[in-house]
Amino acid sequence: MMNEISLNDRIPSFSLEATILNTCSDKDMLGHWVVLFIYPKDNTTGCTRETKEFNERYSEFKSLGVKVFGLSKDTLASHISFSRKLDLHFSLISDPQTQLIRKLNAWKEKSMYGKKYMGAERSTFLIDKNLIVKNIWRKVKVGGHVDQIFDKCKELIL
């Protein structure tokens, strides 16, 4: 079992397919503050709402110098279609083998209607210019979450 990533740890190095960038790696994040949000699945109610809310505030994040990335195990094709549908201004990273999701300790046992299965736990990471994790939100509830993240960005960056 891998160690859980904690505050002040460096983000694990990775290179995965993504919308906009084609390939996204930790090197694309270096030198920028980054919000990396992990969500379970494209085109589901909560995930669509969360992604839309990040998109609606994208220019505000950008004005603070913050890059936003979404991450799920959906395929690149699914991400491209989801991204077009929502007219997203930021990249969605595809992690079908759950490599990065596991390294970020967001691959968890879940249960629905009494059935247990493995899935991505909605989590958000705030990462500084040196790829150091400055804040972690686990078991995220969508309502008000993007506001929380934005407030934390303002607090740490300004």
92-107 mean pLDDT: 97
pLDDT for 2 equals: 52
Using CB atoms within 10 A of its CB, is residue 77 exposed (0-12), middle (13-18) or buried (19+)?
exposed
Is 153 catalytic? The answer is: no
3-31 mean pLDDT: 94
Selected catalytic residue, list 47, 66, 101, 140: 47
Spatial contact of 107 and 99, defined as CB atoms under 8 Å apart: no
- Give percent above pLDDT 90 in the chain: 96
Alpha-carbon gap, residue 40 to 67, rounded angstroms: 20
Q: Output the pTM of the full model.
A: 0.96
**Number of helices and strands in the chain (H, E):** 6, 9
pLDDT for 158 equals: 85
Residue 1 has pLDDT above 90, yes or no: no
